Amino acid sequence: MKPVLLVANLVVVMAGVILLDQTAPRAVAYNLVPLPASMITLPGKMPINKNFNVHLTGYSEPRLKRAIERLKVALSEQTGLPLTNQEDSWDQQVILTIQCDHASASVQGIADDESYKLIVTTDQAQLTAPTPLGVLRGLETFRQLVERDQQGFAVSAMVITDHPRFPWRGLLIDSARHWMPVDVIKQNLDQMSAVKMNVFHWHLSDDQGFRVESKAYPLLQKLGSDGDFYTQAQIKDIVEYARDRGIRVIPEFDIPGHSTSWFVGYPDLAGAPGPYSLARSWGIKDPVFDPTRETTYQFLDVFIGEMAGLFPDTFFHIGGDEVNGKQWNASASIQAYKSQHGMSSNAQLQAYFNQRIDTILGKYGKTMIGWDEVLTPGIPSDVIIHSWRGQKSLVQAVAQGHRAILSSGYYVDNDRGLFTLYQNDPLEGAAATLSDDQRKLILGGEACAWTEHITAKQIVANLWPRTGAVAERLWSPEADKDDASLFHRLGYDAPSKKKSTPFNGTPHTIPGTIQVEDFDNGGEGVGYLSFVQSNAGKYRPKEGVEIENCADTGGGHNVGYIAQGQWLNYTVDIAHAGTYTVASRVASGLDNGGSFHLEDEHDRNLTGSIAVPTTGGWQKWTTVTTKAVLPAGKHVLTLVEDTNGYNLNWVTFTAVEQPKANEQP
């Protein structure tokens, strides 16, 4: 006889309908990420022991059976109990019963139902969901609820009713700049599954590499990849691996810019004659597709058709960002084409290119996604706008009837603070003024892991568990914004900005200059805070921060994308007390710039807020100055970031005047 679940006084069975007491308080003490939509705690716990087994009823498919086996393997590893290879039989004690109503769509989409309900009593649990996707999400919740107490492993009794806030909860991984092997991609897919993210946006081509095998155009990978690319068999394997975990795979092939790797093997596609070689540095490059030749579209038609067979998802990302237009401006034939077709700007030329690509994508049943720059007059309304430049672009897109995705504020490759990620919301800021119908066009958001400064060895530790903050923001109710709770649930120790900083090597001297290069050698007395758990409170390792060569004649290095709430510590030896001019070399490519201030080891603000103006680019520098009164001796000075959005190159301290005798600074 199949077991019937009864949940204390909170559950009443009436004609097969379970009614819950919704007045029970919401609990947040469990290590769940993301928090569910509704959670009601009950007395007692359900033990996890050697009798644990899972039974699936209703709709079944191999994907669900594999998910159940993964759960058993995970719990076996956690508990040490022999839970694997058990037969699904009612002759054994069944602890978790799963009821799935019907199949999901054959190709996962944004309309799919991911909801589920989980009821746990002191002796059994029941997971019900309309579709396999809901089952997958509920199994991750169940796995996270298993904890150890004095009696062993158990799950607290509770009732969870859950569904996502947004249908698009993505992670972009850039395999073009630094190569990411298949096993690394799968590790990240596992992490995404654990926090209920459902879109893997795969950046597969850029100036530094073309990463997919094309049988139609083999020189793409032969000459454009340095030998590091995914075979078509590997692509299909990863797509299936992701689907097993309820994750869609959306490819991005960046066109018409960020496209040098295409032209190494096929230079005739470019807006200027070759030959071409792969880029070995970062930034915006000149090579760009020639949008005036029919052969360009013939080539891309064949290529997109080939890729459509590898990536079944409805959506196809074309990039479309950061085209500087230099090749177009220098080409007499392209300028003549613009004139003949009444185009007065490169933006109009790119809009024409995008419209042609949209037609090709439609031929293969695909819907275009592009970065902010594709939002131009005439672009079809079904094109999805992916905003990397901010809420303003997001609002412009939905105001024109486009669906949109937010990535601004979700860059996880740049050491952006955990709290900054968590508080960033697609429906707040400028989006708060939208109508209800317009807000529905915002599909969600996407964390971005660009890999200019992240290698395959670093990416998992760099992204996780910090990306869980983005996952929770996109799944959980908008009201869930308890930073301390999230910090605890992600497994971090509480951050402390004022940890002691040892005097290693020779301290910096003031008067003098602190260079960003000092981050590269921990012996200089430079301390820092990172929200990556493995780095917190330690000297910054070389790979733990974005250290870049300055691109202009200023020389040296810069630390980029400093996030709100982060800080940089400097151990200094101040020659004498007095007033100092503090000059900082900074850059910002954002519309609103940034700001920071200088503190001492007693948390005193020595400078007030130091504003970083917009300089028009991350490598276009200016110097900002203020004054600070400093005491003599060895001290720890802290640069505290008030807002994100700037790069820092160096800080110089110049004496203005010394205090008179017996005068205290």
> Which active-site residues does the annotation give?
322
In a 3-state reduction of DSSP, which class is residue 323?
coil
Q: How far apart are CA 292 and CA 337, in angstroms?
A: 7
In a 3-state reduction of DSSP, which class is residue 324?
coil
What phi and psi, each to the nearest 5 degrees, are found at residue 446? -150, 120
Looking only at the bridges linking them, the beta strands covering 567-574 and 633-643 are antiparallel
Structure tokens at 155: 């799950």
CA atoms within 13 A on the CB side of 205: 29
Q: How far apart are CA 630 and CA 574, in angstroms?
A: 8
Element of type H or E holding 326: helix 326-330
N-term to C-term CA, the chain:
82
Element of type H or E holding 362: helix 346-363
Cβ-count burial 302-328 (b if 16+ within 10 Å, e if not): ebbebbbebbebebbbbbbbebebbbb
Distances (CA, A) of 164 to 248, 448, 473: 16, 20, 10
User: Shortest CA distance to 169 belongs to which of 464, 410, 392, 450?
Assistant: 410
Would you say 517 and 554 are in contact if contact means Cβ atoms under 8 Å apart? no
Q: How far apart are CA 651 and CA 582, in angstroms?
A: 7
Length of the chain: 665
Instruction: Identify the DSSP state of 103.
Output: P
Question: Residue 30's Cα: distance from chain center in Å?
Answer: 24
Looking only at the bridges linking them, the beta strands covering 512-515 and 508-510 are unpaired
Peptide bond into 34 cis (omega under 30): yes
Between the CA atoms of 359, 363, 366 and 372, what dihedral angle is there, to the nearest 10 degrees?
Answer: -10
Q: How far apart are CA 275 and CA 260, in angstroms?
A: 10
In the block, tokens 């949109």 appear at 404
Show Cβ contacts of residue 585 under 8 Å, excluding neighbours closer than 6 positions: 554, 621, 622, 623, 648, 649, 650, 651
Instruction: State the amino acid at position 16 in one-letter form.
Output: G
